[in-house]
Amino acid sequence: MRLRDRYSRQYIAKRIIGTLIVYIAAVVLIFVIPRLMPGNIAYDFVSRLIAENPHITYAKALNEVEAEYGLNLPIMNQFEIYIRNVVFTFPPNFGTSFEYLNDPAINIVMRALPFTLLLIIVSQIIAWGMGIFIGVELALRKNKRSDKTSVPILYLINSTPIFWLALIMILVFSLKLHILPAIVPFSYGSSITTIMYGMTLPIIIVVISTVPNHTLIIRSATIDFLKSDFVTALRAQGLKDSTLRMKLIRNSILPSITQFFMQFGYLIGGIFIIESLFSLPGMGTVIITAALEYDYPVIEAGLFVTSIVMILSNLAADLIYPILDPRVSYM
């Protein structure tokens, strides 16, 4: 069966409809959750305005702000405006940031997105590659000393909190050895070399903390299919070691591809610890700052973009699988 035939039109339609449903659910939740939070956005905003401009009268300002942001409207009308601005406008309009007036919230988030994606994509490709390599090697050495000592170490690293690992790495590489910066020396629009220099330590940390996960999954999958008949047949063929290994790697990619994309989705939500430790101007930092400052438009825009990335990476995982596994076809 050729690759194109492995996807039926029906399946793709089904998958896209499913994705749309998740998208709509995310959009609705992003509207609901900030409105369930305690406090009043307008009070907060106005008290900040008054702190900077003491001549403003409270009640008048409150009315004006509520009118400006449509907060005096019934909730259904607010929802209608929200949907019109988010779903039917491109780029989605979440309003301007409370913190940086005149700057649309979506722009603030989109400026930060490349840094987060760079960190996650580079670290995950490295971690996945290492995981496949180490996992297959350990599976081939099952019950030997190298495997028996490696596996507990991998579990240990796997259960080490990433922020603790990051602090130790900063202590060693930045404060003792002075090799890599503890706070990233770049911001939007810095040169590539500066960005790569600042990114090195965060990437290393994410790689170290995610390699064990990939490795352990690939190791156990490989151990499973080393018992299978076709591996016995391959060994009987007396192929070169490198050929045999490539064939094992080719097969072990399959169970790990889902893990790769799951890890990707997990990280896009969980990487903010690393970002805020290094003051890396990525999505996590933007969302945390916004949350501390009650910058609701930016929180909403941040959650929105995060959801989009997660939804797309899940869709990619589903659609990529048949390319790698000829047995799978989606009908």
Partner 1 sequence: MTGNENVLEVRNLSVFYSSYGAQKKAVNSISFNLKRGEILGIVGESGAGKSTIGKAIMGIIDPPSYATGEIMFGGKNIIGMNNYRLNKIRWNKITMIFQASMNSLNPVQSIRSNFISILRDKMGIYDKSESEKRIDETLANVNLPTGVKDYFPHEMSGGMKQRILISLAMITYPEIVIADEPTTALDVITEYYVLSILKRTLKASGSSMIYITHDLPSVVFTADRMIVMKDGIIVEQGSTEDIVEAPKDEYTRKLVSTLNEVKN
Applying CB under 8 A, the residues found at the interface with partner 1 are 1, 228-230, 232-240, 243, 247, 250-251, 254, 324-327
Residue among 251 and 313 whose Cβ is closer to partner 1: 251
Smallest distance from partner 1 to CB 36, Å: 48
**7 - beta bridge partners?**
330
Which residues are within 8 A (CB) of 228 and not within 5 positions of it... i.e. 6 or more apart?
none
Q: What residues contact residue 253 under an 8 Å CB cut-off, 6+ apart?
A: 132, 324
CB of 270 to partner 1, least distance (A): 32
Burial of 152 (0-12, 13-18, 19+ CB in 10 A): exposed
Minimum gap (Å) between residue 150 Cβ and partner 1: 20
- Integer Rg of the chain from CA: 25
CB of 254 to partner 1, least distance (A): 7
Query: Please, what is the minimum distance in Å from the beta carbon of residue 221 to partner 1?
Result: 13
Q: Smallest distance from the beta carbon of 223 to partner 1, in angstroms?
A: 13
In whole angstroms, give the CA distance from residue 303 to residue 99: 17
Cβ proximity to partner 1, 185 vs 326, nearer residue: 326
Question: What value, to the nearest 5°, has the Cα angle with vertex 16 and ends 14 and 19?
Answer: 110
Choose between 297 and 322: whose C-beta lies nearer to partner 1: 322
- Tell the smallest beta-carbon distance from residue 250 to partner 1 (Å): 6
Beta carbon nearer to partner 1, 85 or 228: 228
Cβ-based nearer residue to partner 1, 103 or 325: 325
* Cβ distance to partner 1 smaller for residue 52 or 229: 229
Report d(CA 218, CA 249) in Å as an integer: 9
By beta-carbon proximity to partner 1, the closer residue of 15 and 142 is 142
Cα–Cα dist 285/243, whole Å:
45
Q: What is the DSSP string of 75-114?
A: HHHHHHHHHHHHTSSSS----B-SSSTTSBHHHHHHHHHH
Which residues are CB-contacts of 56 (< 8 A; sequence separation ≥ 6)? 46, 49, 50
* 246 neighbors 151 (Cβ within 8 angstroms): no
Q: Is 41:296 a contact under the CB 8 Å cutoff?
A: yes
